Every structure is written in structure tokens, then in C-alpha cells.
Amino acid sequence: MHIHILGICGTFMGGIAAIARQAGHRVTGCDANVYPPMSTQLEAQGIELIEGYSTEQLSQLGSQPDLFVIGNVVSRGNPLMEAILNQGLPYVSGPQWLGEQVLYGRHVLAVAGTHGKTTTSAMLAWILEFNGKEPGYLIGGVPLNFTVSARLGNSNYFVIEADEYDTAFFDKRSKFVHYRPRTALLNNLEFDHADIFADLAAIETQFHHLVRTVPSEGLLVVNGAEASLERVLERGTWSPVARFGLDAKNTWSMRPHPNDDFTVLREGKEVATVCWAPNSGVMGRHNQLNALAAIAAAAHIGISPADAALALAQFKNVKRRLETVGQHNGITIYDDFAHHPTAITTTLDGLRRRVGSGRILAVLEPRSNTMKLGVMKAQLPVSLEAADRIYAYGAASGKAALGWDLAEVLAPLNQKGVQQETQKEMQKEAQQAAQRAQAFDDVEKLVSAVVAEAKPGDHILVMSNGGFGGVHQKLVQGIVEKY
């Protein structure tokens, strides 16, 4: 079958393309921006890519596609989509195609939640792989234990990052309702995606729909500390529920060690100890909980906690999750995908636990649709409390522009710095404290400010869910030139 994918260069749709190719289909695709690394990954698998959505490509493909698979970046008015509709050509959403053609009949382990989906999915897929299950998987990031972010697999098991975002312009249900999991892991649930959801209750409804699809012989692995998830369960459950969390009342709990390792408890009994590999970059309480959830989900298919812990001892993390991208003269630069205030908080907390009293210079780009709408702006100052210095970027114009004043939102961080100064301290020190948080609308000026401030022993944490104007390498270069 010849499948043509619209919006092929997104992580999810690119994963679908790779899986379809592995399944033996001829796969072509198009996107508004065809560029590395996704373009090179797809082309290496024999997938032909076309830049843009012009209708001319229908005659450039050599044969009429048997099916068009539509990504959720495509909307009405897209010229190629309009041609597909006008000509009555067959089309389907990416999640529906995946559910019907790949997941049907398999034991699907779906990882849902506002935060930690990618890391937890990568952990779970690696636990299965390490224990000889040869799973298929589709992960919204690059798991460093594997060479690709998606594969068809050689067994009945499939691990999928289950996103609550909508399916397509013609199907406004969350993607995950198409996956029909037997093991559903509900990691957490907060308000997000303000561009498509009116409030938290609307997202809870979608999670309720997911719960409705889990069979009675399946399992719900649920974060026991989330009131929002309890509300979802109160609306109805038809499957066994295993809760996880710090509290020993949960089915699965843990005893943290002084470092980031931890002991796993099941029904209050010690069953395993997770010891992370040196230099894995896995740190923080949130990753301990992610791992605990993955262990609980793996147990549902017969993998013992001890065997799961052995796998996690070799877990290499996911690209862009506190990934070290540069070190020079005692200064370390990290890249992290955090963009929601809760993710910012947990990322900073994890790094603070690792570096102790070392200075953290946080470099932030609030660019998600939710952040640009300003829904979470009031939470930003609190989420950044663990940082010693904050450098935030908001584009002045264009699609990336914020609809609110970044400097004004960050002002409480500076005011707090001034209030903490004693009257006996020098005016200069008070001024420095007042500059704890700075806002920029120019990436080059932001880089210059960070480089000027950075000292040996500092940790520069870059947080963004986008490319951030190449700021990571600019910071590395600036630090090298400075020292």
C-alpha cells in the first residue's frame, strides 16, 4: 500500500511513517518545514519527503496514494487537504491508522499524563526490551537506549506515549482514545493545552474516555497523589487499579535514598532497588516516580520488579531531558524540554538535588500554546524559585510572540531578591539581587548576558520545547570564548 502522510516531520507522525515503512508499505510525506534531524531519519528509511502542501505533489508521487494519513497540524484551508476532500480521496488520522493497523490485537501499554510521558514510555520500552520482550513502541522523543523513536516490534507488546492532544481537525477526541490499551498508566493530570481545552474538567473527561477503553482484564496504573486522577476514577472504572506514589498506602511505593536511587515497595514489602547508571542524567523525584510507574506497568505483563530494576540500571535517559550539551572550565550546560510550570519546577528540583549549592542559571523560552496564551504565567515565578539567576526569552513579534509582558510576570522574583537584602548590605548587592530575573526579546542579547554572568562551577539549564534559536550551542561557544 502507498501511504502519503501530511505533517510527516512531527515526532508522532514521523514515528508513524517509520512504523508503516517497517510494515512494508511505500511511505511518502510532506510538511511545511522538512529539515533535519527528522528529515534525515525518514529519508534514511527510504521515505520520500516533499516540502510544503502544494496540490502539484499529487502528480509527483509516481502513483496515486492508496491512503492519506493526516497529522493534527493540518487544518481546513490547507491546499493539499482541500484537494483530498474535493476529489473524495481516502484519508484517516494518524492515531486512527495506528490503532487499526498496528495496535489492533496487541497488548498495548499506554503512558498518559501531563508530564513525564516521554521519559516513562522510554523507561517502560527499555524494561521490556532488556527482558527479551522485543516490543514495538512509539515515543515522542529520542530514547538513548534505542536507535530510533519508533518501531514495529517483534512481539505482541507495544508501548506508546499516549497524548491527550486532539487527533485531527476532523476528530477532536484525544489521540489516546484510539489506542485501546490493556495496561494504561496515568502518570499525572494538570491543566495544559489551553488552545484546545477550556479547563481541567475538559481534560479529565478525555481521561475518563481513555479509562472506558481499558478491558476488565486490563490494569490502570494511577498516580495516587493526584486529585484530578481520583476524580477521573470516580466517574467509573471497569478494570483493576494499582496506585503508585511516595505514600506507603499505595500498591507501589518507594523509599528514596540520599542520592537519586530508591527502593521499590509492593504492598509495603521491599521488592527491588533502582540504582541509576553513573552519568545517565536521570535525576529528581519526578524521575523516581516515573520509574516506579514503569515498574508497576511492566509487572502487569510478568516482568518482576527486580528484573525491571536491572533494566533501569542501564537506562540512558531521553534526549533533551536534562541532557548535558556542553562542559567547559567547570561550567555545565544542559538542555531540557520543560515548558509547563510544573515541569520547570521538577526539572530545577532534580538539578538542585544533584548540584547542591552550585549556582543554577535558568534560561527559559515559554513557547507552548498554553504559555503564549498566558494561562500559566502567574505560576512562572514560583516554578523558577530554585534558580539563582533567570534569563527568559519572549519574541517581540510573529507567531512566537507572547501575548503578555514577560518582564512584568518575572518581576516578583526581583522584588523578593531586594526584600531579602538587609539594610546593612551594599547598594550594589541589592541591585544585583534585583537582576535575578531578566527578560529578553533578542536571543543574542540573552546569550551575552548569560555568558557574562557564568562562572566556574555554574550550571546553565536551558528549558524550551523548541529549538530556541540555537541558544544551546551559542552558549557553549560563548563560554569557550570567554575562558
Domains of the chain, by residue range, sit at 2-94, 105-312, 323-482
Right CATH for 2-94 from 3.50.50.60, 3.40.109.10, 3.30.365.10, 3.40.50.720 = 3.40.50.720
| pLDDT at residue 61, as a whole number | 87
Q: Are 300 and 309 in contact (CB under 8 A)?
A: no
Classify residue 169 by burial, with Cβ atoms within 10 Å: 0-12, 13-18, 19+.
Answer: middle
Please name the residues in contact with 318: beta carbons below 8 A apart, sequence gap of 6 or more.
Answer: 118, 119, 122, 139, 141, 142, 143, 144
Give 323-482's CATH code, choosing from 3.40.50.1170, 2.60.40.420, 3.90.190.20, 3.30.1490.480: 3.90.190.20
Of 77, 96, 82, nearest in space to 3 by CA: 96
H helices, E strands: number in the chain: 16, 23
The C-alpha cell that represents 230 in the structure block: 481520583
pLDDT tens, position by position, 328-348: 889 999 888 877 888 888 888
Predicted pLDDT at 149? 87
What are 403-436's pLDDT values in tens digits? 778 888 888 888 754 444 444 444 544 444 448 9
Per-residue buried b or exposed e for 440-450, using 16+ beta carbons within 10 Å of the residue's own CB: beebeebbebb
- What digits encode the pLDDT tens for the residues 280-323? 778 778 889 999 999 999 999 999 999 999 999 999 988 777 78
CATH class of 105-312: alpha beta
Query: Which 3 state secondary structure label does DSSP give 360?
Result: strand
CA 29, 33, 39 angle in degrees (round to 5)? 60
Tens of pLDDT, residue by residue, the chain (483 residues): 999 999 998 889 999 999 999 999 999 999 998 766 677 888 888 899 999 999 999 888 888 899 999 999 999 999 999 999 999 999 999 999 999 999 999 999 999 998 889 999 999 999 999 999 999 999 988 888 998 889 999 999 999 999 998 999 999 999 999 999 999 999 989 877 667 778 889 999 999 999 999 999 999 999 999 999 999 999 999 999 999 999 989 999 999 998 889 999 999 999 999 999 887 778 778 889 999 999 999 999 999 999 999 999 999 988 777 788 888 889 999 888 877 888 888 888 888 888 888 999 999 888 776 666 667 778 888 889 889 999 988 876 666 677 778 888 888 888 754 444 444 444 544 444 448 999 898 889 999 999 999 999 999 999 887 777 788 889 989 998 888
